[in-house]
Chain A
Amino acid sequence: MKQTVAKLIDTTLCIGCKACEVACQEWNDQEFSQGVFHNSYQTMPDLAAHFWNLIKFHEVEKPAGPVWLMAKYQCMHCADAGCLRACPAPGAIIQRENGIIDFVEENCIGCGYCITGCPFDVPRLSPRTNKVYKCSLCSDRVAVGLSPACIKACPTSCLTFGSRADLKFLAEKRAEELRAEGFSAAGVYDGPGVGGTNVLYVLKYADEPELYGLPKDPKIPWTVRLWKGPLKWVGNTIFFGGILAAIVHYLKVGPKEAHEDD
């Protein structure tokens, strides 16, 4: 089996320069979008169907003074991926051997279930194409031995790409360093509740991940777990039953007549 790959984000080295955002936009050939002002240095309020990599800026008051936290936000590539569990369309969401969760555009039916399934609120539905998009961890680059575009662009080595095992080790070591420097709450964020994520974070305030915009206790909604678990066969019956019923209806009644004033 292939090694699981991962991305390490050492937020203590992030300077919010957005080189990763530009690299992501350019590598993925994204369209230009006019930003909206929303009282922040952040490029836009949240991820978008054509903007998969966003540094979130958070102004926080700490006893020692103001703190300005910057952390890159994108798909976490969970081991137990809520989007994958929720997706009804065969082949639209796949988990590659190296752990990357990839969305396959041509198989996506735009139902948006993956959005409900994601505990990190990452996938975005494009109203233009009616398909859902998110970071692919540059699976196209990784497949040919390159690192993701964001990693290559980062000037401060805040981002590292490698095997999950190696990065987990590095991350823990770095957290230990930070604790030794006096940041007693420093630690590693590794997607608790979703079997670990292939995007790891080093946080100075690991006890308060929500300061960085990360959920403290990410969980796949129980409805989704149910839907792909015990209820799957029920769902399938209803789903395929519905299609069957539609065919029967078509055969019996014929196509719907469109009226001019529709």
Chain B
Amino acid sequence: MTNGWTDVSNADVILVMGGNPAENHPVGFRFVMEARRRRKAKLVCVDPRFTRTAAVSDCYVPMRAGTDIAFLGGLIHYILENKLWLDEYVKQHTNAPFLVKEGFGFSEGHFTGWDESQGGYDRSSWQYELDTSGHVRVDPTLEHPRSVFQLLRQHYSRYTPDAVANIVGCTKEEFLRAAALIASTGKPDRTGTILYALGWTQHSHAVQLIRAAAILQLLLGNIGMPGGGVNAQRGHANIQGSTDMGAWNMLPGYLKLPRANQLTLQDYLKANTPRALRPNAWNYWSNTPKFMVSLLKAYYGQNATAQNEFGYQNLPKTGENENWGWAYFFDRMSRGELEGLISFGMNPVANGPNTAKMLAALAKLKWLIVVENFETETASFWKARKLGDKFYTGFASPAQIQTECFLLPAACFAEKDGSFVNSSRWVQWKRAALPPPGDAKTDQEIISRLLLDLKSLYQKEGGRGAKPLLEMSWDYANPAHPSLDEVAREINGRHLSSRQQLKASSELQEDGSTMCGNWIYCGSWTEEGNQMARRGQEDPTGLGLYPNWAWSWPANRRILYNRASADREGKPWDARRAPLRWDGSQWSGDTPDYKGDASPESLGAFIMLPEGVAKLYAADFLEGPFPEHYEPAESPVKNPLHQEVSTNPLAPVFHGEFDRLGEAKDFPYVAITYRLTEHFHYWTKHVASGSELQTNFFVEVPEELAREKGIRAGDRVRVRSARGFVEGPALVTKRIRPLRVEGRTVYQIGIPIHWGFVGRVRGPLVNNLTPSVFDPNSGTPEYKGFLVNLEKA
């Protein structure tokens, strides 16, 4: 989240799209209710299904899964056509005045630079026009035809209300009603927030979708404002923490993984340290060398020296264009290219797309270690044919599977201390409530004992690639069981000579005199102690920021980009909702997202970006500088905007035996998968209370479709995709309205996840149905909007 849960209560309009917080974040949803009670805020809900969030909304718009960019593009168009943007904000805090090089354009589904043979873009025509000193040329009036603002206007000119309604499937009136509410926040004294979750990230164009939301919020002046922002509601208690720590194809603190062509640390730093594009850009990522060297010192301690590039050569490097994200390594596994897998707190058989592919991939491994609280589908994947009976008749029988499987019992969240990072970026320390049962061990003990045994094996027997392991620093009181206090102190980092804990990331050095496990967590455990364990309830700004409750990354900042909450002179857009105040010599309030004593005019408000301002136009992503509507990989219609380039041309396509895509003639209905309040992922089916509240798998079928097919409530139905099928009772409902798209009726079918072939309550794995299709930037699978057929079982 750019802002945070408590801050949602400061909003005037709340757009919930690509998420369903009443069901999936019911506790956080109290702040939505508070905004409605306290400020008479309006709740707009855009969703294929009339959800429990929709049930308490002021304005509900039904939509076809996978058409969010069309809807948001329509909002951008609506704001530009009706002159509803916050002009001063856009001029001062965004790259709207920046000029783009001559030659940039978009036509028939492709931006300029498309190379059909490579299946990718040459991005040179997307770059800014620079002056002789290397800074971007600007037109403060925004009138230059090559200014970002004019290009934006031109790009979204096609997204008229009629075009939106035709793609999305709602009525024009429904769209306009929502647009009027959302656009009403383009005034200095009104703010709107956006809450989203996996309904936005699980698409083959997800990153661009969220970019579209950022553009919308920037036009309305809602970024940096209390009650504003673009707010991702994270799904698991510590998924934000695992992202911050680089568990997903990154290094900690969002540092990029080294590539094979970055032969030296210097190469790596050169490629990943941006240069300022405007004279007033602070360009905080220019500190990348300090972050990276301090991280290497944390990894390799004494073994990291200036002479050996601080151990840079110990880091694995991926091929120049290689991706080792989830989708790609499972694809490699399915081709037999991986020897083993340690699945730590992860259940890929259940939560990965295309279950048959997951099962087949695991069967190719020599060994599999699963570390879990329960015996999951992944731990017992080799029994799938037996336990999942008819769903996996083509899968190998247990006797045929050679994979050696280990299930290590792990302590659950309540049985270990440590920190949870919530959606608000609050790093909250917790204490173990009870000891782990039986032989269950804490994560750190499992990792440490694996490491120590591996080290001693390498020392005794030698072997390839031992150096990174042997040189790793493991400087803990009990190396077989580090305390998480020790680890957290290391993540915060310290001065190596004085052994003093770092106060802030500004103290980091690139000469190897500081170490830090994650630069964005600098300040979480200082000489004053564990900041994450703080429980102060003071609220000096009156905005519900609670600066003394736990610790928020970065720098205990509660609202990101908060400098943008004020104008050029530092005067807040809304005096009643000012997270920051400038007194002539310094900023007070929230931790400023700015130099604390820099005058309002001296720097750009977006200090992390080389532009110094926020990007309406961003050449950083694969598909193009502006988000464009592409259909899901499986869609009932050709893209009404450009039939020839219907789907995201950059979405990776796999060609294995399991990677089948269906067509609308065989699979006419759109399906979406989602979670229910009653369960937590594939976990609570092992627990009594969760199982009781929602015992049964079911399929939600629109009333009209049920009538057409002769399906009555409770009838057993079979949903089939090009990959597999599921079966369960039909929940016939009015809450999924049939939509009109391109002059025809489109039905959507809802399929909740949560069941599987092991657990106290059982049901089919819905990922039997889902395709191995991913967002090219993030690698997230497309679970929202794929094609199925429906029949009575």
Complex interface residues of chain B between 728 and 758 (CB less than 8 A to chain A):
729-735, 737
* Residues of B with C-beta under 8 A to A33: 692
A70 touches B30 (CB 8 A): no
User: Please, how many angstroms separate the alpha-carbon atoms of A201 and B761 in the complex?
Assistant: 34
B29 touches A155 (CB 8 A): yes
- Give the contacting residue for B23; candidates A15, A36, A40, A69; CB below 8 A: A15
- Give the contacting residue for B692; candidates A15, A32, A40, A41; CB below 8 A: A32
User: Please, how many angstroms separate the alpha-carbon atoms of A35 and B694 in the complex?
Assistant: 7
User: Is B678 part of the binding interface, using a Cβ–Cβ cutoff of 8 Å?
Assistant: yes
* Residues of A with C-beta under 8 A to B29: 15, 155-156
A35 touches B56 (CB 8 A): no
Q: B793 to chain A: closest CB distance in Å?
A: 14
Closest to B696 in A: A37
Q: B30 to chain A: closest CB distance in Å?
A: 5
User: Is A21 part of the binding interface, using a Cβ–Cβ cutoff of 8 Å?
Assistant: yes
Interface bits A18-37 vs B (CB < 8 Å: 1, else 0): 11011001100000111111
Q: B736 to chain A: closest CB distance in Å?
A: 10
User: Please, how many angstroms separate the alpha-carbon atoms of A65 and B57 in the complex?
Assistant: 12
B50 touches A32 (CB 8 A): no
B30 touches A157 (CB 8 A): yes
User: Is B147 part of the binding interface, using a Cβ–Cβ cutoff of 8 Å?
Assistant: no
Complex interface residues of chain A between 3 and 26 (CB less than 8 A to chain B):
12-19, 21-22, 25-26
* Residues of A with C-beta under 8 A to B319: none
A155 touches B26 (CB 8 A): yes
User: Please, how many angstroms separate the alpha-carbon atoms of A162 and B689 in the complex?
Assistant: 28
Closest to B56 in A: A15
Q: Given the known A-B contacts A18-B678, A37-B714, are A32 and B693 also in contact in the complex, defined by CB atoms under 8 Å?
A: no
How many residue pairs between the two chains, A and B, have CB atoms under 8 Å in the bound complex?
99
- Give the contacting residue for A70; candidates B55, B676, B694; CB below 8 A: B55
A66 touches B50 (CB 8 A): yes
A61 touches B734 (CB 8 A): yes
User: Please, how many angstroms separate the alpha-carbon atoms of A65 and B732 in the complex?
Assistant: 17
| Secondary structure call for the A interface | loop
User: Is B688 part of the binding interface, using a Cβ–Cβ cutoff of 8 Å?
Assistant: yes
A34 touches B677 (CB 8 A): no
User: Is A67 part of the binding interface, using a Cβ–Cβ cutoff of 8 Å?
Assistant: yes
A59 touches B692 (CB 8 A): no
User: Is A43 part of the binding interface, using a Cβ–Cβ cutoff of 8 Å?
Assistant: yes
B761 touches A17 (CB 8 A): no
* Residues of A with C-beta under 8 A to B698: 37
Closest to B60 in A: A65
User: Is A38 part of the binding interface, using a Cβ–Cβ cutoff of 8 Å?
Assistant: yes
User: Please, how many angstroms separate the alpha-carbon atoms of A13 and B733 in the complex?
Assistant: 23
Interface bits B466-477 vs A (CB < 8 Å: 1, else 0): 000000000000
User: Is A68 part of the binding interface, using a Cβ–Cβ cutoff of 8 Å?
Assistant: yes
Q: B713 to chain A: closest CB distance in Å?
A: 4
Closest to B761 in A: A34
User: Is A129 part of the binding interface, using a Cβ–Cβ cutoff of 8 Å?
Assistant: no
B30 touches A38 (CB 8 A): no
Q: A179 to chain B: closest CB distance in Å?
A: 14
A19 touches B696 (CB 8 A): no
B689 touches A155 (CB 8 A): no
User: Please, how many angstroms separate the alpha-carbon atoms of A59 and B51 in the complex?
Assistant: 11
Q: A104 to chain B: closest CB distance in Å?
A: 27
Q: B716 to chain A: closest CB distance in Å?
A: 10
Closest to A60 in B: B734
Q: Given the known A-B contacts A25-B689, A66-B735, A67-B55, are A17 and B26 also in contact in the complex, defined by CB atoms under 8 Å?
A: yes
* Residues of B with C-beta under 8 A to A156: 26, 29-30, 33
A35 touches B695 (CB 8 A): yes
User: Is B222 part of the binding interface, using a Cβ–Cβ cutoff of 8 Å?
Assistant: no
B693 touches A21 (CB 8 A): yes
- Give the contacting residue for B54; candidates A14, A35, A68; CB below 8 A: A68
- Give the contacting residue for A59; candidates B677, B678, B694, B733; CB below 8 A: B733
- Give the contacting residue for B689; candidates A22, A36, A61; CB below 8 A: A22
Q: B41 to chain A: closest CB distance in Å?
A: 12
B734 touches A66 (CB 8 A): yes
User: Is B22 part of the binding interface, using a Cβ–Cβ cutoff of 8 Å?
Assistant: yes
* Residues of B with C-beta under 8 A to A59: 733-735
B677 touches A17 (CB 8 A): yes
User: Is B52 part of the binding interface, using a Cβ–Cβ cutoff of 8 Å?
Assistant: yes
User: Please, how many angstroms separate the alpha-carbon atoms of A70 and B22 in the complex?
Assistant: 12
Q: B71 to chain A: closest CB distance in Å?
A: 18
A68 touches B55 (CB 8 A): yes
Q: A71 to chain B: closest CB distance in Å?
A: 11
User: Please, how many angstroms separate the alpha-carbon atoms of A25 and B690 in the complex?
Assistant: 11
User: Please, how many angstroms separate the alpha-carbon atoms of A66 and B420 in the complex?
Assistant: 38
Complex interface residues of chain B between 665 and 709 (CB less than 8 A to chain A):
676-678, 688-689, 691-696, 698
Q: B750 to chain A: closest CB distance in Å?
A: 11
B714 touches A38 (CB 8 A): yes
User: Please, how many angstroms separate the alpha-carbon atoms of A183 and B30 in the complex?
Assistant: 22
* Residues of B with C-beta under 8 A to A61: 734
Complex interface residues of chain B between 51 and 74 (CB less than 8 A to chain A):
52-56, 60
User: Please, how many angstroms separate the alpha-carbon atoms of A34 and B689 in the complex?
Assistant: 10
* Residues of A with C-beta under 8 A to B22: 15-17
User: Please, how many angstroms separate the alpha-carbon atoms of A33 and B760 in the complex?
Assistant: 11
User: Please, how many angstroms separate the alpha-carbon atoms of A61 and B695 in the complex?
Assistant: 27
Closest to B28 in A: A155
User: Please, how many angstroms separate the alpha-carbon atoms of A17 and B714 in the complex?
Assistant: 23
Q: B52 to chain A: closest CB distance in Å?
A: 5
Interface bits A166-182 vs B (CB < 8 Å: 1, else 0): 00000000000000010
Closest to B714 in A: A39
User: Is B237 part of the binding interface, using a Cβ–Cβ cutoff of 8 Å?
Assistant: no
User: Is B27 part of the binding interface, using a Cβ–Cβ cutoff of 8 Å?
Assistant: yes
B729 touches A35 (CB 8 A): no
User: Please, how many angstroms separate the alpha-carbon atoms of A39 and B714 in the complex?
Assistant: 6
Q: Given the known A-B contacts A16-B55, A68-B50, are A32 and B23 also in contact in the complex, defined by CB atoms under 8 Å?
A: no
Complex interface residues of chain A between 125 and 158 (CB less than 8 A to chain B):
155-157
B677 touches A16 (CB 8 A): yes
* Residues of B with C-beta under 8 A to A66: 50, 734-735, 737
User: Please, how many angstroms separate the alpha-carbon atoms of A54 and B374 in the complex?
Assistant: 29
Interface bits B1-40 vs A (CB < 8 Å: 1, else 0): 0000000000000000000001100110110010000001
- Give the contacting residue for A39; candidates B677, B678, B691, B713; CB below 8 A: B713
User: Please, how many angstroms separate the alpha-carbon atoms of A69 and B735 in the complex?
Assistant: 12
Name 15 A/B residue pairs within 8 A (Cβ), A-sorted. A13-B33, A15-B53, A15-B55, A15-B56, A16-B52, A18-B693, A22-B689, A25-B692, A34-B691, A35-B694, A37-B695, A37-B714, A38-B714, A39-B732, A155-B30
Interface residues of A (CB under 8 A from B): 12-19, 21-22, 25-26, 32-41, 43, 59, 61, 65-70, 155-157, 181
Interface residues of B (CB under 8 A from A): 22-23, 26-27, 29-30, 33, 40, 50, 52-56, 60, 676-678, 688-689, 691-696, 698, 713-714, 729-735, 737, 761
User: Which 9 residue pairs of A and B lie closest in terms of their CB atoms, listed nearest first?
Assistant: A35-B695, A39-B713, A17-B26, A15-B22, A68-B55, A32-B688, A37-B696, A155-B27, A156-B33
Beyond contacts A17-B23, A66-B737: 16 other A-B pairs, Cβ-Cβ < 8 A, are: A14-B56, A16-B23, A16-B55, A17-B26, A26-B689, A34-B692, A35-B696, A37-B698, A37-B714, A39-B730, A41-B676, A59-B733, A65-B60, A68-B54, A155-B30, A181-B40
